[in-house]
Amino acid sequence: MTSPETGRDPLGELLRWETAGGSWHTEEGPAGQVTVVLCRCDGGEEVDRLVSDDPELCFYVHVRPSSEG
């Protein structure tokens, strides 16, 4: 879902990242938000982070906390 405040779609960004071959995992973040660490396709270094309170993203990563699962 695109946020009207930011114009971003965090879950869409995560799914595009994974479709392109990147890996990801969650880390503890601020209360009420999720932090998703986006890593290179070889499972290596961190490239970026998504920090969001988007309900769709929060639900998705609660059910599936990394690209490995």
Per-residue pLDDT of the chain (69 residues; tens, 9 = 90+): 554 455 789 999 999 999 999 999 999 888 889 999 999 988 689 999 999 999 999 999 999 999 986
In a domain, 27, yes or no: yes
Range of the domain at 43: 10-63
pLDDT of 48: 96
pLDDT of 42: 85
For residue 35, list its beta bridge partners. Answer: 27, 51
Query: Residues 36-50, buried b or exposed e (16+ Cβ, 10 A)?
Result: bebbeeeeeeeeeeb
pLDDT of 43: 63
Parallel, antiparallel or unpaired: strands 23-27 and 46-52? unpaired
In a domain, 4, yes or no: no
Residue 66 structure tokens: 């990394």
pLDDT of 6: 56
For residue 5, list its beta bridge partners. Answer: none
In a domain, 1, yes or no: no
In a domain, 30, yes or no: yes
CB 38, CB 24: distance < 8 Å: yes
